[in-house]
Amino acid sequence: MAELEVRNLTKRFGKTVAVDDLSFSVEAGRVTGFLGPNGAGKTTTMRALLGLVRPSEGEALVEGQPPVEMDEPLRTIGAALEATAFHPGRSGRNHLRVLAASAGIPRSRVEEVLEMVELSGAANRRIKGYSLGMRQRLALAAALLGEPRILILDEPANGLDPQGMRWLRDLLREQAAVGRTVLVSSHLLSEVAQTAEQLVVIREGRLVAEASLDEFTTGPASQMRVRSSDPESLATALTSRGAKVNRDSDGALLVRGLDGKEIGNLALTDGVAIYELAPMRSSLEERFLEVTGEEALG
């Protein structure tokens, strides 16, 4: 059983369809990245998994159960949503104390998580005066408070400085390594590429890919780099066979739509010598722009 499961989830706000018949699952023990352009429905999906949004159709399940029926919610799921969701007049420490009180978590744990996110020094100040990075840290502290089995983080890297990013990356990996379930949305693709093993990509509320990072970046649309004795005629031959051909900066061909064997055979019949034939791993960013249908700039 998957720790988190979204089954045919549809959510409409009035006439707008935010999430459209979306299904995917998230397993324990690895970091799952949740990607999609702005407005793709990531936040709505996460909120449905947290029981904050009622599905119009379908369901969002946590450990096989609807989230509103969880017994010990803070010990099951820790979530960090928008970093602005604090009462500005309350201190960081008191924010965590309120949460701890409602879940019967001892006060010593509040100090522990404050220490973990390095906010102990600012804990008595009112949140009004916190920077975006500090708010993110506080949101993460709140998520970690109950030592939950599942973490759901919406754009946790926003506003973090490079040290903070590194700290977050280590934290996510550690959590996954001890067998916890981690679902992170982010628009910082290089950040995701460094932490996530599994990806769920959505666009306009629909699933476009659910794959491991490796599978995703070396998917069918990845390209072959070809250096040869006669690039011009090879290019013509490849194009006539339906391949898409581009030039790399050094004049080598970048071929899409044909695999190595087909390119090699074609070169042989054309009498072109192949000097180099290498599969190109596209970057996560290229693949992301490809599957979400947004053209890469430049």
Partner 1 sequence: MRLLRAEALKLRTVRTTWTMLGIGLAVEALFAGLYVGLVSLSSVGPIDEVLTGTGLLMLMLLVLGVLSITGEFRHGTASTTFLAEPRRYPVMAAKLGAVLLTGVLAGLAYVAVNGGLALPLFEAREGSLPETGDIASVYAGVVASFALLGAFGLGVGAIVRNQVGAIIAAFAFFFVLSPLPELLPGDIGDYFPAQAIGSLHGLPEEGLGQVAGGLVLAGWSAGLLLIGTLLIRLRDLNE
Interacting residues toward partner 1 by CB under 8 A: 13, 47, 50-54, 67-70, 73-74, 77, 79, 81-82, 84-91, 94, 97-99, 101-104, 142
88 vs 179 by CB, closer to partner 1: 88
Q: Name, in order, each residue with C-beta under 8 angstroms of 174's C-beta and a sequence gap of 6 or more.
A: none
| Backbone phi, psi, residue 27, to 5° | -100, 160
Q: Cβ 51 to partner 1, closest distance in Å?
A: 4
State both tokens at 273: 């010598």
CB atoms near residue 264 (< 10 Å):
14
Q: How far is the CB of 179 from partner 1 (least distance, A)?
A: 22
Q: Which is nearer to partner 1, 89 or 162 (CB)?
A: 89
Alpha helix (H) residue ranges in 50-188: 73-76, 92-103, 107-116, 132-144, 162-177
Which residue, 106 or 121, is less far from partner 1 as judged by CB? 106
* Smallest separation, CB 43 to partner 1 (Å): 9
Helix (H) or strand (E) holding 235: helix 231-240
Residue 150 or 199: the one with the smaller Cβ distance to partner 1 is 150
The nearest distance, CB 150 to partner 1, in angstroms, is 12
**How far apart are CB 85 and partner 1 at their closest, in Å?**
3
Supply the minimum distance, in Å, between the C-beta of residue 237 and partner 1.
56
247 forms beta bridges with: 253
> Is 154:84 a contact under the CB 8 Å cutoff?
no
Query: For 103, which DSSP code?
Result: H
Q: Which is nearer to partner 1, 30 or 47 (CB)?
A: 47
Q: Closest distance between partner 1 and the C-beta of residue 77, in Å?
A: 7
Alpha-carbon gap, residue 226 to 211, rounded angstroms: 27
**In the structure, how many helices (H) and strands (E) does the chain have?**
11, 13
Which residue, 188, 182, 207, is CA-closest to 19? Answer: 207
Nearer to partner 1, 85 or 268 (CB): 85
We find the least distance from the C-beta atom of residue 161 to partner 1, in angstroms, to be: 24
Q: Which is nearer to partner 1, 54 or 241 (CB)?
A: 54
3-state secondary structure 148-171: CCEEEEECCCCCCCHHHHHHHHHH
Q: Of 25 and 94, which CB lies nearer to partner 1 in the complex structure?
A: 94
- Residue 100 · residue 109 · CB < 8 Å: yes
Cross-strand bridge partners of residue 277: 226
Contact between residue 200 and residue 34 where contact means Cβ atoms under 8 Å apart: yes
